[in-house]
Amino acid sequence: MTSKPISQRLEEVQDFFSAPETPNQLAWGYAHMINHWLLTRDKSVKEEITPETTLGEVAEIAHRIGLDGDVTGWDKGARE
């Protein structure tokens, strides 16, 4: 079995990580950020958030635990 040169492997890894995210990857990333954002502020919501939880339900949970406000800049710079 012939292995690839390290420079070719490095280029493949760089290409993989520099490729634009697909809509599905973005959606999972946002779901992860929302879970992290909520769970770091109130551990009691852990049982309420499941893969079937809708964004509307997440908004209701956030409102109930007092997280009303502008979250549009919550991960500003995270991808920079």
pLDDT (tens digit, 9 = 90+) per residue, 17-42? 888 888 888 777 777 777 787 778 77
Q: Is the pLDDT of residue 11 over 90?
A: yes
Type of residue found at 63: H
All residues at 6 or more sequence positions from 43 whose CB lies less than 8 Å from its CB, including other chains: none
* Domain locations in the chain as residue ranges: 22-68
Distance CA 33, CA 58 (A): 12
For helices 23-39 and 55-64, angle between their N-to-C axes, nearest 10 degrees: 20
Distance CA 25, CA 6 (A): 28
- Quickly list H helices, 19-70: 23-39, 55-64
pLDDT tens track for 43-55: 778 788 787 888 7
Entry pTM: 0.46
* CB of 29 closer than 8 Å to CB of 74: no
